[in-house]
Structure 1
Amino acid sequence: MELLQQFFTALGLILCLQLMLKCIGFSKYLFPHLWGVLPTSFFQTMGEWAVVTGAGDGIGKAYSIELAHRGMNIVMISRTLEKMQKVALEIEQTTGRNVKIIQADFTKNKIYDHVEENLEGLEIGILVNNVGMLHSPDPCCFLAAPDNDENLINCNVISAVKMTRLVLKQMEQRRKGLILNISSAFGSFPCPLYALYSASKAFVTTFSKALRAEYKSKGIIIQAVTPYGVSTPMTKNQSTNMITKSSRDFVRESLNHVTHGSETFGCLAHAILGCIMNQVPTWVIHSSRLQECFLNIINAKLNKE
C-alpha cells in the first residue's frame, strides 16, 4: 500500500512538473517582456544582410519587409522576378535599406553555384529558409497527388540544407548569426493527406534542432518556426481569424521569439492549438473515417466554387 502511494505521489509530481513547463512555455507568448524584449538593434548585430528564400510573396515577403524595418539589408531569392522587384521597391522606398535580388528556382538542384556567386562578399547575419511547396493544392492521398516528389523534396528539404551550408560557414567564422527554418506544425506529427509535405517539414524541424545543438556554443542561433494557419498564396489566401494569421502579423510576432528555444509556434494562438493537438491520440488523426470526412468537406467546398 505504501509503495502504491509513493507511485501515485511521484506520478502526481511528474504531471505537475509537466503542467508547469507548459505554463512556462505559454508565458513566452503571453508575457514576452518577462523573457527579455529584443532591442531594436538586435538583428543588425548579427550582420549587415538578411537572406530570405521564397521572398516573392507570403511569409517570405513578410520576413523581407519586416527585417528591413528592423535595420537589415535584404537579399531576396525566388523564381518570381516581377514579384521580387515590386517588394524590393516597397522596401527601398519605405525603409531606405538596400535590396539585392537573386532569381532562382529551388525545385532545381543546379542553382546553388549561381546563388553562392551572388552572395559573395556580403556579410550575412540572418538566413530565413522559407521557400516551400505543397504536394498538391488540396489535401489528398499520396497517389492522388501530382508526381512532383523530386520538386517538393528539392524545394522543402534540399534548399534548407544547401542554403544553410552556404551561409553557416561565414557565421561560424564571425561567431554570430541567426538562421530561421520555416517548418510547419504539420511536421510535428505524421499528417495524413499531406504525407510528403508533413515528412519534409519533419525533416526541417529535426535538422534545425540538431544544428542548434552543434552551433549554439559558437554564438549562432538556429530555430525552427512551426506555424499552423497563415494566410498566403500557398494556402489560397484564406481569410484571417483567431487561428489563421496574416503573414505580416505572424512574422512580426514570431521575430520577437527568435531567442526563445530551438522551436517556436511563432504566436500564442498557434501555441495553444499545438498544445491541444498534442493531446489528440495519433489513432484519431489517422482514422480512415476522419480522413474520409475531411475529404468530403473539401470536395463539397470545391464543388461550390
Structure 2
Amino acid sequence: MMSGMEWVFTALGAVVVIYYGVKLLFFTRMLYPKRWFPLPKSFFLSMGEWAVVTGASEGIGRQYAFVLAEQGMNVVIMSRTKVTLDKVAKEISETTGRMVKVVVADFTKDNIFTDIEEELKYLDIGVLVNNVGMVPSAVPRRFLEDEDLDQTIMRIINCNVRTMVKMCKIILPGMENRRKGVIVNIASGIASIPFPMYSLYAASKIFVERFSQGLQAEYRDKGIIIQAVSPFGVSTRMVGYQPTNMTMLSPQDFVKSSLQYIRAGDKTYGTICHMFLGWLLLAIPSKILHTEFMLQGLKEYVEKKQAEKRPSSVMRET
C-alpha cells in the first residue's frame, strides 16, 4: 500500500497532468476557431440592427465598421475628424448598402458623453466596439520624460479608460433589456506584463482587460458577450504603418481573425500568431525584460523604425 506521502505526490501529479491537458485542449481549440467557435451567418445582425464603433476613421476601427456592415448591420462610426468620417461613411454605404451614422467626438475631452447618448438614444444597438485609443508617444520613453505630463495623463485616461467605461454605460442597458449583445473592447498585447517605457499606455490597457472580464462575469447570464481583444502588431498609424508580415498584420486580416474568436472567452489575442507572442512574453522572466539593456534596445529599435516614417508626438487610433 502507498504511504500518505506517496498519495500526496500521486494526487499532485494527477492534478498537474489534468491542468496541462486542459491547457493543451484549449490551445487546440484556438487553432481551429471555425470548428470550435462557429458563428451563424446572421450572428451579428441577430444581436441588433446597429453597431457602434469608436475610433472608426482609420485602422482597426474602420475595418470593424466595414465588416459589421458587410454582415448586414447599420453602423455608427465615431472619431474626432468629420471629414475623414464622412469619407469612410460614404465608402461603407456605397460598398455594403447599409446606413451609416456619423458622430464626431474627441474622446480626449471631458463632457462629451451627454451628446453621444442623445445621438444613440433610439437605436437598436447590438454590437459595440470600443476601439479608440492612443499612446503618449510612438517612441518609448520614461514616464517623467513627457514634456506636458499632466495633459498626457488626462488624455490617456479619458481616451483609453473613461471612454470605454462611459460607452458601456450608455449601451449596455439596452443590451441587458433585450438579453443579447456583443461588446468588444480593444486592449493591447503589451498589457500582458508591466511594460516599461510604455507604462501609462500599458496600464490603461490592462484596465480594459480587467474591466471587460469583470463585466462578462456580471452579464454572461444576460446573454451578452463582452470580450477584451489584445493585439500586438497591427499596421496602423499608431505603429507608423509598418510593413505587414507574420506578426505585423493588416487591419483587414486582424479584424477578420478576431471576429472568429468572439465566442472563445472573455479575452483573446485575436490571432494565433499574437497568442504565441503573448505566451512568449509571459515566459520571459521580467528581470530580463526590465534590464536597462533591454529598455535601451527597445527605444533604439523603435527610433530607427520611426526615423523612416513621419514623426508624431501623439499617435492614436481615431
Aligned residue number for residue 248 of structure 1: 252
Residue 185 of structure 2: SS of its match in structure 1?
strand
Q: State whether structure 2 residue 153 is matched by structure 1 residue 149.
A: yes
What whole-Å deviation, never above 9, does each CA across 1:249-272 have from its counterpart, x for those lacking one?
A: 100111111111100110111111
1:251/1:11 CA distance change after superposition, 3 Å: same
Find the aligned partners of 1:219 and 1:301 in 2 and give their Cα distance.
44
1:212 alignment partner, one of 199, 210, 216: 216
Find the aligned partners of 1:301 and 1:124 in 2 and give their Cα distance.
40
TM-score (norm 1): 0.94
Deviates more, 1:1-10 or 1:172-181: 1-10
1:18/1:239 CA distance change after superposition, 3 Å: farther
Task: Map 1:124-273; keep pairs closer than 5 Å.
Answer: 124-146=125-147, 147=149, 148-273=152-277
1:290/1:176 CA distance change after superposition, 3 Å: same
The offset of 1:87, in angstroms, is 1.2
1:243/1:302 CA distance change after superposition, 3 Å: closer
Find the aligned partners of 1:51 and 1:242 in 2 and give their Cα distance.
30
Find the aligned partners of 1:252 and 1:296 in 2 and give their Cα distance.
33
1:40/1:303 CA distance change after superposition, 3 Å: closer
Residue 280 of structure 2: SS of its match in structure 1?
helix
- Unmatched segments (≥5 aa) in structure 1: none
Find the aligned partners of 1:81 and 1:269 in 2 and give their Cα distance.
35
Q: State whether structure 2 residue 29 is matched by structure 1 residue 28.
A: yes
1:110/1:38 CA distance change after superposition, 3 Å: same
- Maintained 8 Å contact 2:185/2:208: yes
Find the aligned partners of 1:132 and 1:79 in 2 and give their Cα distance.
12
Find the aligned partners of 1:303 and 1:91 in 2 and give their Cα distance.
34
1:277 alignment partner, one of 273, 281, 297: 281
1:242/1:80 CA distance change after superposition, 3 Å: same
What whole-Å deviation, never above 9, does each CA across 1:7-31 have from its counterpart, x for those lacking one?
A: 5544543443343233223223321
Equivalent pairs, count: 305
The offset of 1:188, in angstroms, is 1.8
Residue 101 of structure 1: SS of its match in structure 2?
strand
2:290 alignment partner, one of 264, 279, 286: 286
1:254/1:300 CA distance change after superposition, 3 Å: closer
Two-structure CA RMSD over aligned residues (Å): 1.8
Bigger relative contact order, structure 1 or 2 (CA pairs below 8 A, ≥6 apart): 2
Find the aligned partners of 1:108 and 1:35 in 2 and give their Cα distance.
41
- Maintained 8 Å contact 2:34/2:260: no
- Maintained 8 Å contact 2:37/2:264: no
Aligned residue number for residue 315 of structure 2: none
Find the aligned partners of 2:253 and 2:13 in 1 and give their Cα distance.
39
What whole-Å deviation, never above 9, does each CA across 1:27-60 have from its counterpart, x for those lacking one?
A: 2332123314201100001000000000000110
TM-score (norm 2): 0.91
The offset of 1:108, in angstroms, is 0.6
- What amino acid maps onto 1:99 in structure 2? V
Find the aligned partners of 1:297 and 1:141 in 2 and give their Cα distance.
16
- Unmatched segments (≥5 aa) in structure 2: 310-318
Q: State whether structure 2 residue 108 is matched by structure 1 residue 107.
A: yes
1:7/1:139 CA distance change after superposition, 3 Å: farther
